[in-house]
Amino acid sequence: MRKLDWYILKKFLVTFVFCMLLFTVIAVAVDSSEKADDFVTAGFSTKEIINKYYLGFVPWIWSLLFPLFVFIAVIFFTSRMATRSEIIAVLASGTSYRRFLRPYFVGGLFLAIVLWLGNSFWIPKANTIKANFQTRFIDSKDPSKNRTYGSCMRCFYLRTDTNTFVGIRDYDTSIKFSRGFFMERIKGNKVVYNLRAESMSWDTITRKWKLYRAAERYIDSVGERMLRHDTLLLTISLRPEELKKDDYMKDKLTSPELYEYIKREQLRGTEGLNTLQVEWYRRTAVSATVLLLTIIGAVIASRKIRGGSGMHLAMGFVIAAVFIISDRFSTVFATKGNLHPFLAAWLPNMVFLIVAVWLYRRTPK
């Protein structure tokens, strides 16, 4: 790294931080005006609003707009360098265009790693704060998020291992109690064990499920045996916290936790996991997006054209808008259609990688 590299890298990072802080102030101002009634209803003081909401909201908005912050920062300071003919001077000194892009690559790679670490470990902790406020004070008043389907309000049917299936009816998360339970164990294509109980609760002392008025059936080649129990302690790989339907689950889990959760739910035969898989792939893909948009922004803004920074920023916003729209479309096709989650997360990057190569080849060097 030479003095010129540090000069560009410093401008890159300082402009990025400035853009991030500026957009954060705007986002907080707009959001606070929208949620003023919710804060009044909650009875929060200013300190509580910051601790119980904005400590989660600000990191969330950073992670959401991080690639856009990087893109705008690169276009803004590079365009100013081009307007002042600094880039012409750099290239006229004998520096190759590829060498000129090195500090952009280093800065983009550094910010991509920061975003990857944030999305994998830090942002989920902040999302927990935001999600708790959202669930308690906003979603609780939304009729569309408090609907019941059919006659069963809180029912679960899942697989605890490769050959065991359980069903739980009307489970109450507050007291960890359900009004119905059954379990079946399959061997080959036949049921070899069946367990039913009128009710079930979580025993906090033994850390096991306690069944009431349970009946066990053992089925084998000899015949069928039945055992009845007033109470029965059951050990299965299922915890009370796993029976809570959480719309913000994917946002609150770190990447290792999300990966383990997806594996466990796949084993249980849970449907509709595409959303979780897209989120897991997206956390890496969006980090690659940062590096990709850095190079695209540098290539676009390094040309000295009429209109200066304004024209470059306009082109940048158009490209960013197209990228975001394509990303949303691919996500919808994965969650609602048959598009593989990996392709949904990485397809926009693949397309814009081709765009980046095309722009690089057309740029005067």
Alpha helices (H) in the chain, listed in sequence order = 3-34, 36-42, 46-49, 55-83, 86-92, 97-100, 102-117, 123-133, 249-252, 255-267, 274-301, 308-336, 341-362
Shared domain check, 180 and 130 = no
Decide if pLDDT at 147 tops 80.
Answer: no
253 found inside a domain: no
Query: Cβ of 87: how many Cβ atoms within 10 Å?
Result: 22
Which letter, b or e, does each residue of 5-29 get, where b requires 16 or more Cβ atoms within 10 Å of its Cβ?
beebbebbeebbeebbeebbeebee
Counted domains in the chain: 2
Euclidean distance between CA atoms 181 and 358, whole angstroms? 60
Shared domain check, 160 and 134 = no
Of all residues in the chain, the percent with pLDDT exceeding 90 is 47
Shared domain check, 294 and 188 = no
- Predicted confidence (pLDDT) per residue in 254-279, tens digit: 999 999 989 888 877 777 788 899 99
Higher-confidence residue of 141 and 222: namely: 222
Task: Name the residue range of residue 12's domain.
Answer: 3-141+272-362
- Predicted confidence (pLDDT) per residue in 63-97, tens digit: 999 998 999 999 989 988 988 889 889 888 888 99
Query: How much is the pLDDT for 307?
Result: 59
- The answer to whether the beta carbons of residues 199 and 181 sit under 8 Å apart is yes
**Rounded (10°) angle between helices 55-83 and 3-34:** 140
Shared domain check, 277 and 133 = yes
Query: How much is the pLDDT for 2?
Result: 84
Shared domain check, 280 and 133 = yes
Shared domain check, 160 and 104 = no
Q: Is 167 exposed, middle or buried (0-12, 13-18, 19+ CB in 10 A)?
A: middle
H or E element: which one contains 158?
A: strand 156-161
Decide if pLDDT at 62 tops 90.
Answer: yes
Shared domain check, 220 and 71 = no
Mean pLDDT of the chain, nearest integer: 87
Decide if pLDDT at 289 tops 70.
Answer: yes
Decide if pLDDT at 114 tops 60.
Answer: yes
Shared domain check, 69 and 175 = no
Shared domain check, 134 and 231 = no
Shared domain check, 290 and 238 = no
Decide if pLDDT at 143 tops 90.
Answer: no
57 found inside a domain: yes
From 13-27, 215-229, 236-250, the region with the lowest mean pLDDT: 236-250
Shared domain check, 7 and 137 = yes
Higher-confidence residue of 104 and 364: namely: 104
198 found inside a domain: yes
Query: How much is the pLDDT for 139?
Result: 75
